[in-house]
Amino acid sequence: MNTKTKVLIGVISAVAILLFGAVCFLLGSYRQLKANVDSRQEVLVESSEPEETAEVTEHQEVSNEGKQEEQGEQEMPEQTSSNAVYEPVYGALSVKGTKLVDKTGHPVQLKGVSTHGLQWYPEYVNEDAIKTLHEDWKANVLRLAMYTNEGGYCSGADKEQLEEVIDQGVKLTGENKMYCIIDWHILSDCHPVQYQNEAKDFFGRMSAKYKDCDHVIYEICNEPNSGANWDEIKSYADDVIPAIRANDKDAIILVGTPTWSQDVDEVAKNPLANGDNVMYVCHFYAATHKDDLRRKVEKALDAGTPIFVSEFSICDASGNGGLDYDSAAKWMELLNENNISYVGWNLANKQESSSMIRPDCTKTSGWSEGELNESGQWMRRTMRGE
Ligand code: IDC
């Protein structure tokens, strides 16, 4: 082979290799391109297939549900008033000597209002009303007055409905960092023994339901009267309190005293079997109850009796009549000096001077000053420290 032939063969081989390479390259590119196109089409087809998407979503939902259930069982219980965790402004309260104290042991004074009878005026236990009381009136406690007689809990009312209103009150006060008093409002039934069994059953169930609610306070007999003496009230309290303590060892319990909760000075003569975290109730109506009752309070404090004013007004004892601002000022001085908590009667628009909302005002929250009557305006100013 001469040199010319050798060069020709070399050139032909190089061209052949180049051609082969080019064909392979083109073939590879084509395959890659085809694969890309196919996969794009797959994506498009997938996303336009509702059934398949639905299946995925459903599956995710199921697994999320499972997760929630799992979490629910372990650490996130469904939030209801009875098992939600509320953090009232002063934490869990207790009684130290004659004082109500916060979770760190410092004296605190609760201030707030009481509903009227829940069988008559349940509409004021609503979210906006409690916000108004908390934010505008600066109240940190609400008393839920559940009458036993007078068509109330033990005399014809719908028990379930009343308990629902209480549940609302517990929830809404909890959400507003307030405290809440569940009041067994005996009045025309005079003697707490009349509904003693009902009281034990009621407080047993309430305390089981709200055992983890640090903001719930139990008032076991509003105003014993007509001859119910302290020894008898004490026996009643010694019987009812264990129904609460079986569920809640340290809730604050309020116990009414003889003569429409005025004879607080009787308590020290015959103390309760277990008076831990118990306070004794004094009620006053400033235009009727003056120095005499104020002296009784001082006497009781001197004897070491812790006092809580769970109901008062600045009119007379009928819940009506003129207001006595002078006597009211003396009462406030006594209460503030001794850190005694107070709750004003009543949040309703009834035609009576203790009802804090004007009778012509039908709003159930967000009252302007002009929509409150005189006792309401006084109460709001007093709580606001004005
Ligand atoms: C009054 C109400 C009044 C109602 C009456 C009877 O203001 O509208 O007709 O009860 O149910 C109390 C009682 C409280 C009284 C209040 C005023 O705890 O229920 O409310 N009062 O009489 N003790 C002293 C005064």
What is the residue extent of each domain of the chain? 1-76, 94-383
Query: 147, 345, 355: which to mutate for ligand 1, most atoms within 8 A of CB?
Result: 345
| 182-197: pLDDT as tens digits | 999 999 999 999 999 9
User: Sorting pLDDT into bands at 50, 70 and 90, what band is 316?
Assistant: very high
pLDDT at residue 55 above 80? no
Spacing, Cα 91 to ligand 1 middle (Å): 31
Q: State what percent of residues in the chain have pLDDT above 90.
A: 78
The CA distance from 148 to 157, in Å, is 9
Average pLDDT, the chain: 86
Give the fold, CATH level 3, of 94-383. TIM Barrel (3.20.20)
Active site residue 223: yes
Mean pLDDT along residues 117-133: 98
Q: What mean pLDDT is predicted for residues 87-114? A: 98
pLDDT digits (tens, 9 = 90+) for 275-314: 999 999 999 999 999 999 999 999 999 999 999 999 999 9
**318 close to ligand 1 (CB < 6 Angstrom):** yes
Check pocket membership of 352 for ligand 1, CB cut-off 6 A: yes
Q: Rounded CA gap, 316 and 361, in Å?
A: 23
Residue type at 333 in one-letter notation: E
Q: How far away, in angstroms, is 276 Cα from ligand 1 center?
A: 30
pTM of the predicted model as reported, rounded to 2 decimal places? 0.81
Report the C-alpha gap between 254 and 183 in whole angstroms: 9
Under the banding of pLDDT at 50, 70 and 90, the label for residue 364 is: very high
pLDDT of residue 48: 32
Q: Is 260 in the pocket of ligand 1 (CB under 6 A)?
A: yes
Active site residue 311: yes
Ligand 1 mean position, distance from CA 319 (Å): 6
Asked whether residue 79 carries a pLDDT value surpassing 90, the answer given is: no
Task: Tell me how far the alpha carbon of residue 128 lies from the centroid of ligand 1, in angstroms.
Answer: 25
Please tell me the distance between residue 282's alpha carbon and the centre of ligand 1 in angstroms: 15
pLDDT at 84: 81
Residue 266 has pLDDT above 70, yes or no: yes
Catalytic residue among 219, 223, 266, 352: 223
Cβ neighbours for 184, distance < 8 A, ≥ 6 positions apart: 146, 148, 199, 202, 203, 219, 220, 221, 222
Residue in the structure block whose two tokens are 């009267």: 225
Mean pLDDT on 223-247:
98
Supply the pLDDT for residue 77. Answer: 45
User: Does the CB atom of residue 167 touch ligand 1 within 6 A?
Assistant: no
Alpha carbons 91 and 121: distance in angstroms, whole number? 29
CA Rg value for the chain: 36
Residue 20: what pLDDT? 56
Question: Of all protein residues, whose CA lies closest to atom 25 belonging to ligand 1?
Answer: 317
Say yes or no: CB of residue 89 within 6 Å of ligand 1.
no
The pLDDT confidence band at residue 85, using thresholds 50, 70 and 90, is confident
